[in-house]
A and B are shown apart, each in its own frame.
Chain A
Amino acid sequence: MLHALVAAAEEGTTKNPLIPELYDIFWSAVCFVILLALFWRFVLPKMQTMLEERSAAIEGNIAKADEAQRQAEAALEQYTAQLAEARQEAGRIRESAREDGKQIVTEARSQAMLEAARVTASAQAQIEAERQAALVSLRSDVGTLAIDLAGNVIGETLADDAKATAIVDRFLAELEASEKATK
């Protein structure tokens, strides 16, 4: 500064840099007004609008994300419910199948038992019938045989004699009774 002032003094013309020229003030003010207008009326409103839009967009996106989250949670819940229901259903089906199976087995068993009983009964009935038949046939055969034999022994025919028949019958009854007693 000192050097500058000295140099200026040497040149003969000098000015005090602290005393403003009118034009200096004028053009400074013009520059300020232009820039103030630029920032106040154009730049800062644009910036403000953009910032508001940006925060709105961010909030919008957050809301959208919340919505998507909510939907996903609802869907998950629904799937879980469906899955649980399906499991229950499956359990129920398995249970009823088991019941059915058991029933079928029981039925089959009783059926089989009935069948067996029937078969046994019919077999016994047949055996009894055959025994009866054999008995009847045997009785008549034995009777005839015995009468013939006795006739042959005594020399006369006793076949149509009612008395002979009664004797034979009595004999056979006694025989049966003794058979029963020995059993």
Chain B
Amino acid sequence: MNLLVQTSTDDGTFHGPSIMEFFPDIVLFEGTGFDINRIMLIRLLAVLALVIVFWLGTRNMKIVPGKFQSLIEMALDFVRVNIAEDLLGKVDGKRFLPLLTTMFFMIFTMNFTGIIPGLNIAGTSVIGVPLVLAAISYVTFIYAGIKKSPGKFFKNSLFPTGVPWPVYIIVTPIEFISTFIIRPVTLTLRLLMNMVVGHLLLVLFFAATQFFVFTLGGWFIAMGAVTFAFGFAFTLFEILVALLQAYVFTLLTAVYIQLAVAEEH
């Protein structure tokens, strides 16, 4: 499943990365609905890594933390303080903290597999994870709103205050679409497309480097150096994107919950 080998062919022509990158061969349980391919394995590996790191990190927490515990605490506090408590306050922040923490670390870790050598593809670059998480975010903010006060939730969502009533004819459908349709779709697509494009760019740069250096050779090696430099730079950029997308997804979920439980808009 080496991407570089796949794209540098013997016939001397350059083959760019294809969308089939994201649908590798099934390796286990083919046709059962629980098929496992390379990307599913990477996801499970990411889950395993998270379980090990957080199990070791919180199994025996000390009041005076060591280096590793400080790091774990910093990561957990980032979600707890900067996302949950900042937006939802202490009480609601604590209620939704497990969900937000799970989202953040799941997305970040699965994004990060995109630049780990040997894995080289983000677990979030296939629609399953973004879609499932967006659906959970969607269900959660609607649940939070209805639990708080069903009438107020739908009134605030569909009939914003301070608007003369005839305007509702236009505003209410827009609000409905933006709240109940656009939100989950944008959550899904933002994450998915960032990861898909990031992966395709990296494949393109490194495949081109391979093509210039090993297939064409000669003066094209200089071109290969340029494409390699771009690939390297985008690898670093992908670290930022991995963190940023995890943050944005979690933050937006918190914002949606916050809007749903708010008294007034």
Residue contact B23 to A40, C-beta cutoff 8 Å: no
Contact residues in A for B200 (Cβ distance below 8 Å): 1, 4
Stretch at the interface among B96-104, B149-157, B159-167, B243-251: B96-104
Enumerate A1-21 residues with CB–CB distance to B below 8 Å. 1, 3-5, 7-8, 11, 13-15, 17-21
**B contact patch SS:** helix
Partner of B63, one of A26, A40, A53: A53
**A contact patch SS:** helix
Residue contact A15 to B47, C-beta cutoff 8 Å: no
Residue contact B34 to A27, C-beta cutoff 8 Å: yes
Residue contact A44 to B16, C-beta cutoff 8 Å: no
Residue contact A7 to B18, C-beta cutoff 8 Å: yes
Closest to B51 in A: A38
Enumerate A144-160 residues with CB–CB distance to B below 8 Å. none
Contact residues in B for A39 (Cβ distance below 8 Å): 54, 98, 101-102, 105
Residue contact A28 to B131, C-beta cutoff 8 Å: yes
Q: How far is the CA of A68 from the CA of B200 in the complex (A)?
A: 66
Q: How far is the CA of A83 from the CA of B129 in the complex (A)?
A: 78
B59 within 8 A of A: yes
The 8 A CB mask of B188-228 against A (1 = contact, 0 = none) is 00001000110010001000000000000000000000000
Residue contact B196 to A17, C-beta cutoff 8 Å: yes
Q: How far is the CA of A43 from the CA of B131 in the complex (A)?
A: 25
A90 within 8 A of B: no
A46 within 8 A of B: yes
Q: In the complex, how many residues of chain B place their beta carbon closer than 8 angstroms to a beta carbon of chain A?
A: 56
Contact residues in A for B241 (Cβ distance below 8 Å): none
Partner of B98, one of A5, A15, A40: A40
A179 within 8 A of B: no
The 8 A CB mask of A117-147 against B (1 = contact, 0 = none) is 0000000000000000000000000000000
Partner of B18, one of A8, A34, A50, A54: A8
Q: How far is the CA of A100 from the CA of B153 in the complex (A)?
A: 97
- Provided the pairs A23-B40, A36-B99, A53-B63 are in contact, do residues A31 and B19 lie with their beta carbons within 8 angstroms? no
- Interface of B toward A, CB cutoff 8 Å: 15-23, 29, 32-37, 40, 43-44, 46-47, 50-51, 54-55, 57-59, 61-63, 73, 76, 80, 97-99, 101-102, 105-106, 110, 123, 126-129, 131-133, 136, 192, 196-197, 200, 204
Ranked 9 nearest A-B pairs via Cβ: A24-B128, A28-B128, A40-B98, A50-B61, A23-B35, A46-B58, A8-B18, A28-B132, A7-B18
Query: Can you identify 15 A-B contacts, CB atoms within 8 angstroms?
Result: A11-B20, A17-B126, A18-B192, A19-B127, A25-B132, A31-B44, A32-B132, A32-B136, A34-B51, A36-B98, A38-B55, A43-B57, A44-B98, A44-B101, A50-B63
